[in-house]
Structure 1
Amino acid sequence: MSGRGGPTAAASLLQSSAKAFREQHPDALCWAAVLHLCLDRAKEYSAYGKDPRVPQLMKAIEVEIFTQYHGVALGSGLTDDDLAASRESLVARYGENAQAAGHELILAWRSSSESGTEDWSVGPWQELLTRFRVTPEMFLAQKAWPSVPEERPQPIDWRAQLDALVGLGAVKEQVNELRDLLYLQRLRMRRRLPGVEPLELSMHQIFRGNPGTGKTTVARILGAIYTEYGLLKSGHVVSVQRSDLVGAVIGKTEELTKGWIKKAQDGVLFIDEAYSLTGGGAQDFGPRAIDTLLTEMEERRNCLVVIVAGYPAKMEEFLNSNPGLASRFNDELHFEDYSDDELLEIFRRLIARHGIAAPSSALENRVAAWLAARRAGAGERFGNARDVRNLVGVLFRRQARRLAKAHPDEQPPEADWDSFSPDDVPPPPGAIAGLGSERGKGREGR
């Protein structure tokens, strides 16, 4: 199907896509699936089809659908009666003389629906449109979408951030060493001696460390350093994982990987759990992301820094998975697990940031015991600073419940709001349900 067609074509598309979907998938048909099909058609037939936001929207919808299919019962989905009513609504809204193609009308129509109507996908879809700065009218414009200016974060005080990190002595020393190298190189080049060429520096990095040891924070600091000394124009950090880079069909992985690399240009592409791109078997597309990455790293060596991160042992497997991979990275930073004393210091700083008074020795002893039990039980899955952050969240919940029970019919005294009790610390890990659901939400010290 190509070109224009108006409401009649849109109605026909709804009917045919529903039939095809039901024949091929046992899951319930939802509007998110219809929108995904329409975006796929827009890539070929619409003037805005080459815009990078189209595949980004498709990928985001795939994630939403996957989450719903594996998280809740979807029921019967869109019925024939629902589709019939939708066809009538399309024709009534746009009239028989509408010039847009069927898929464009459907995209515009669903994008302007009232949130919460008909099925679960309306709200998430409109949130995606806001995130990518796409309006319903843009689907009907029959021309390329206007470009969106890149939003660059304000420069950070990387020196203060580096100094403020708890522990990480070896990492701090390496970062300062790198900064000193860049500073001296800049001084050398300012002399402009005849015949002297600048040292060609490759700033790609390997970060080895367990979760919650500060890898993402240090990546941002490095981006700021590279910007200050002229290696990068912006130094912004784009964080991705396997799900962002690897597609489900041939050609999709290369497209996704190049799209994220483009977003990271002039900054840092931070690939967390990079080893997940390997070891997926003969039908896995992860290695294609690595091949694309290697090519782009070479072609954009003057405007892109790539940092790959993950568990120490698994990172070795990753680097050995491709003959040209290890040679692209000139430096490694090893992020050690935090000591017990360092974890307590992180705890003190976190609660102070949220207005909680300095902990008593009894509270600190309870927290230290909880973290020790967590470390012993989790092994390499121990989240370091991330687990401290999650524990603080649990303390706030338990504090709120304690105060509500103590003052069931009145507002708790304000003096009690800003302190934790030792009893707010939950039982040792294994006896509490709920902390696991908090894992991964915190970004402190990732």
Structure 2
Amino acid sequence: MLSVPNIKLDHSVSLQVEHLNYAQYDRKQDQFMADEQGNLLLSDHQGQIKYFGELPALDQLNQMIGIQNVKDEVNEFIAIAEMNKKRRDQGLDSSAMTLHSLFLGNPGTGKTTVARILGKILYEKGIIAKQTFVEVSRAELVGEYIGKTAIKTRKVLESALGGVLFIDEAYTLATGGTQDFGSEAINEILKFMEDHRSDIVIIFAGYTDDMEKFLKMNEGLRSRIPNSFMFEDYTPKELVAIGLADLKAKKYRVDATTYTALVEHNFAQDNDHSNGRWIRNLNEQVIRKIAVRLAKNPQADLSQITEQDLIAAQL
């Protein structure tokens, strides 16, 4: 059929075809052209393929700005897990691989986002059974009195069975010392990890130095969490790219050069270097300046960010 695009594919589909042939078409006669033997005459037209739907999780990860070392490590991590799964499926010996991981880094470096994507990747690759992602912090694990913590923690662990459990700011479980109820939660987690080695992936996230204290709280933690992913701070150039992408997603237009100057200026002046959070907060400041300007001139373009707005957002 004559259509543009010629082929529509969901992003999750892999079109494993070396080449596509297109037949010549006579629009006036409304028919395909053929030679004397009735064989269709081929065109040198290449055609178009349009993809739709959500990108596969691995592509979502690789399209993230910055954190290249994390992306490389996750790709290697997935490749090994996928190979082991294929070997088991074929009845071959496979090395035991524990998927429990540490996500280390400062605020706003993408730890939670990557954890969610990693859960999707593991599910799409058939490495975990469920597309379940449970995100908790100390409050969801630790109770107010002896005995309640184990019950709360076990309930959370069971809810994530077959999927991924993400424990944000996991180091807070170790802040109260050995007499704190946080240690009760850690003991329950360790026991569950041992009893369900292949049925759950637990990701412990937090600041690098604080997580080192967390690992020292129980000698069983380090051996059971062999995978570490270090999330580096974003560079000013990467922050600019994140900020521009955020504004574009919100249907705003801005001059990239002038916006870059604002980001670099404010970054140098500001003590708050919370990475992705910082650039999103800066964009919110810019949007507030737009709102103030539009209040005085309701007929102005709602999508255009002016130099005046950017200057107003300077520190």
The bucket for the TM-score relative to the shorter chain is 0.7 to 0.9
Contact 2:142/2:152 (<8 A) preserved? yes
User: 1:356, CA displacement in angstroms?
Assistant: 0.7
| Counterpart for residue 305 of structure 2 | 420
Tell me whether 1:392 sits opposite 2:283 in the alignment.
yes
**Are the structure 2 counterparts of residues 373 and 236 from structure 1 closer, same or farther at C-alpha, using a change threshold of 3 Å?**
farther
User: 1:324, CA displacement in angstroms?
Assistant: 0.7
Which one of 307, 324, 347 corresponds to residue 243 of structure 2? 347
3-state SS, counterpart of residue 165 of structure 2: strand
Query: Aligned partners of 1:383, 1:364: CA distance in 2, in Å?
Result: 18
Identity of counterpart residues, as a percentage?
38
Matches within 5 A, 1:4-19: none
| Counterpart for residue 301 of structure 1 | 197
TM-score (norm 2): 0.77
Q: Which runs of 5 or more structure 1 residues have no equivalent in the other structure?
A: 1-153, 429-446
Tell me whether 1:160 sits opposite 2:59 in the alignment.
yes
Matches within 5 A, 1:17-32: none
**Are the structure 2 counterparts of residues 291 and 422 from structure 1 closer, same or farther at C-alpha, using a change threshold of 3 Å?**
farther
| Counterpart for residue 77 of structure 2 | 178
Query: Aligned partners of 2:295, 2:253: CA distance in 1, in Å?
Result: 20
Contact 2:138/2:170 (<8 A) preserved? yes
Contact 2:265/2:314 (<8 A) preserved? no
User: 1:155, CA displacement in angstroms?
Assistant: 8.6
In proportion to residue count, which structure has more strand?
2
Which one of 235, 260, 274 corresponds to residue 383 of structure 1? 274
**Are the structure 2 counterparts of residues 189 and 263 from structure 1 closer, same or farther at C-alpha, using a change threshold of 3 Å?**
closer
Query: Aligned partners of 1:155, 1:346: CA distance in 2, in Å?
Result: 20
Contact 2:142/2:182 (<8 A) preserved? yes
Q: Which runs of 5 or more structure 2 residues have no equivalent in the other structure?
A: 1-52
User: 1:367, CA displacement in angstroms?
Assistant: 2.3
Query: Aligned partners of 2:292, 2:109: CA distance in 1, in Å?
Result: 31
Tell me whether 1:208 sits opposite 2:90 in the alignment.
no
Report the residue type matching 1:161 in the other structure: Q
**Are the structure 2 counterparts of residues 155 and 341 from structure 1 closer, same or farther at C-alpha, using a change threshold of 3 Å?**
closer
Contact 1:166/1:346 (<8 A) preserved? yes
Instruction: State the aligned residue count.
Output: 261
Matches within 5 A, 1:39-438: 157-192=56-91, 196-281=92-177, 283-374=179-270, 377-378=271-272, 382-405=273-296, 407=297, 411-413=298-300, 416-425=301-310, 426-428=313-315
3-state SS, counterpart of residue 61 of structure 2: helix
**Are the structure 2 counterparts of residues 281 and 159 from structure 1 closer, same or farther at C-alpha, using a change threshold of 3 Å?**
closer
Calculate the aligned-residue CA RMSD, in Å. Answer: 2.0
User: 1:373, CA displacement in angstroms?
Assistant: 2.3
**Are the structure 2 counterparts of residues 421 and 200 from structure 1 closer, same or farther at C-alpha, using a change threshold of 3 Å?**
same
